[in-house]
A and B are shown apart, each in its own frame.
Chain A
Amino acid sequence: MDIFVQQLFNGIILGSIYALIALGYTMVYGILGLINFAHGEVVMIGAMVTITLLRILVEMNTGLPAAALVALAITTALPLCALLGFTLERVAYRPLRNAPRLSPLITAIGLSIILQNLAMIIWGRNYAPFPPILDTTPWKILGAAITPLQVVIVILAVAIMAGLWLLIGRTRKGRAMRAVAQNPNAARLMGVNVDGIISLTFVLGSSLGCIAGVMVAANYGQAHATMGFMLGLKAFAAAVLGGIGNLAGAMIGGLLLGLIESFGAGYIGDLTGGFLGSQYQDVFAFLVLILVLVFRPSGLMGERVAERA
């Protein structure tokens, strides 16, 4: 039972982070039909910049509480990541909007390689430790340990997702985004600034990614120049699991993938009679992904897309 609750907590924490990243993938996909392969690197840059700023702030001995320092670092890193997302779209995706479908995929991969290696040039090949300023004494709930930081991560993630939900469902900009996702040409005829909306999507997605990156770094206590790749991959898989292009799908897919991973890691040994150990947790996650897609080819929440005639 203890293990069950612990894995449940771990899964929810991991899942809410995946969900934030998956939202970035799914928003871009919904609007452009494009896999933004460089999104994982934006997440990484967010984490690395925040850690660097935090270190500087800690050294300055400002006497501010730890939470304020982190907030300060994030508010500086956030616009940087937003700008990065904006630039990526402008430089690499916009010129290729009418190109064959796979061409923007290659530029995205190229950008991903560039960002990852630039990060290594700037921050080196070693792990960047997250300054140990946050309280990590765990609380005991139902026999499982959870730190205050992890509670904050989950609450913050839920709040951000709710905010995004309101933004897209209730505001004028949100309505414009949905219109562009449905039919860019018709939206343009209705007076929507399509290019502006696409830029906004990238800015939003990158900001979410930045926060998710900081969460990962704070939760694991470190960040690395290559962390974006696997994170991006998992989050992308989560977006697809939920039905790519669908906001609720990305949230549910992310949460589900987090749970699958942590329960997989916890129970795979018992399930297979000790034949497979927890090193197979990724296999487990991908296997579930494949099975879901075999039985629901457009993801859990995805609508059946009408086949074009």
Chain B
Amino acid sequence: MSKTLSAKSHSLPAKVWAGYALLALALLVAPFIVGQVGGNAWVRILDFALLYIMLALGLNIVVGFAGLLDLGYIAFYAVGAYLYALLASAHFDYHVSAWIILPIGALLACFFGAMLGAPTLKLRGDYLAVVTLGFGEIVRLFMNNLDRPFNLTNGPQGISGIDPVSVAGYGLNKGITLFGQHFPSSYAYYYLFLVCMLLVVFVCIRLENSRLGRAWVAIREDEIAAQAMGINTRNVKLLAFALGASFGGVAGGLFSGFQGFVSPESFTLMESVMVLCMVVLGGMGHIPGVILGAILLTITPEVLREVINPLQRSLFGRSVVDPENLRMVLFGLALVLVMLFRPAGLWPSQRRREELEDDA
């Protein structure tokens, strides 16, 4: 009986399997195709897209599932990144393995998440947003200024010379050699980030369909009703903060190892806002939507960077407007237009779409 049931629920149509197989193949060869077309810079952008997917999925737990507006999410990314930088660089001359640091980073970020969450549970909506924003700024300001009285973070100069991540004793910074051809480190990191990203996606999907995930959605929809149904809203919200933060911590550690350099510059409020945009623009609470949002918002500015200057030159014969500013203007315009035409995000979940139609 149970055998037939499980067999039934697990057998997917051949078409779906074929789709997954194609997707897996595409993910595997992606850096080689991208590298062939756009060069190594674009493979790096691909790596960053994977990091941002992890970040966006982490924030999605807090904002999308539990409905808690967090404007300081990048602080957890910073915590993960700085922990890695302090424990694996010439700064203090510690060289701990990445595989020990990453879990510690996740735990530390988790702890910070709970620390932020605990006093702010009573706050709702925009008050919470301001407190999280303040928290993010505080973390960044400390990193910027903790070079005195003793040099912990090296201040605004940041920490450089960070050890690369090694897998089974093989430093990923050496790149990979395939069929007698050498590929730089961004290719090697791509696969590491891909594995981590898939793990995060898997955890997110499992969470979404768990008792905890349903509790989050219940709180998002109506906190009082959720409480009346016997959900311990305090613990469940804390868990959202802590779990979301831990993803940020891991992504931060990976960023540190990949980049070899961290400075407070990378953790400004604008970064938090960017990750929030990925979540909302893609479709809050909907995992494929959030992934789409993260990819689009990482790649769009870079595509604009590539396109704008040649276009200006061919139109006017010279660079009329600072391409960097023009690029950001167009990017902002894209944000506004997408929201105006698809207020629920590019790829909203079925539930949200229904809600929206209900409201209107």
A residues near B (Cβ < 8 Å) are 29, 35, 91-92, 95-96, 98-107, 109-114, 116-118, 120-121, 125, 233, 236-237, 240, 244, 274-275, 277, 279-280, 282-283, 286-287, 289-290, 293-294, 297-299, 307, 309
Contact = CB atoms under 8 A, between A and B. Distances in A.
B244 to A, nearest CB: 16
Main secondary structure on B side of the interface with A: helix
Contact of A114 (B131, B223, B333): B333
Contacts of B336: 91-92, 107, 110-111, 114
Residue of B135, B141, B326 with most partner-chain A CB within 10 A: B141
A178 to B, nearest CB: 20
Residue of A101, A102, A236, A289 with most partner-chain B CB within 10 A: A102
Contacts of A240: 126-127, 130
Given A35-B129, A121-B322, A279-B145, A100 B135 contact: no
Given A277-B148, A283-B137, A293-B127, 7 more contacts: A92-B340, A98-B360, A102-B63, A106-B281, A244-B126, A297-B127, A309-B224
27 contacts: A29-B126, A35-B129, A92-B336, A100-B344, A100-B352, A102-B280, A103-B344, A106-B277, A107-B336, A111-B336, A112-B332, A113-B328, A113-B331, A117-B325, A120-B325, A121-B325, A233-B133, A233-B269, A280-B141, A282-B137, A286-B134, A287-B138, A290-B131, A293-B130, A294-B122, A297-B123, A298-B127
B95 to A, nearest CB: 30
Interface residues of B, number: 54
Contact of A107 (B276, B328, B340, B359): B340
A307 B345 CA distance: 28
A107 B333 CA distance: 9
B339 A96 contact: yes
B179 to A, nearest CB: 44
Interface string B59-95: 0000100000100000000000000000000000000
Given A113-B332, A121-B325, A99 B126 contact: no
Residue of B137, B276, B343 with most partner-chain A CB within 10 A: B343
A103 B332 contact: no
B344 to A, nearest CB: 6
A106 B339 contact: yes
A290 B333 CA distance: 33
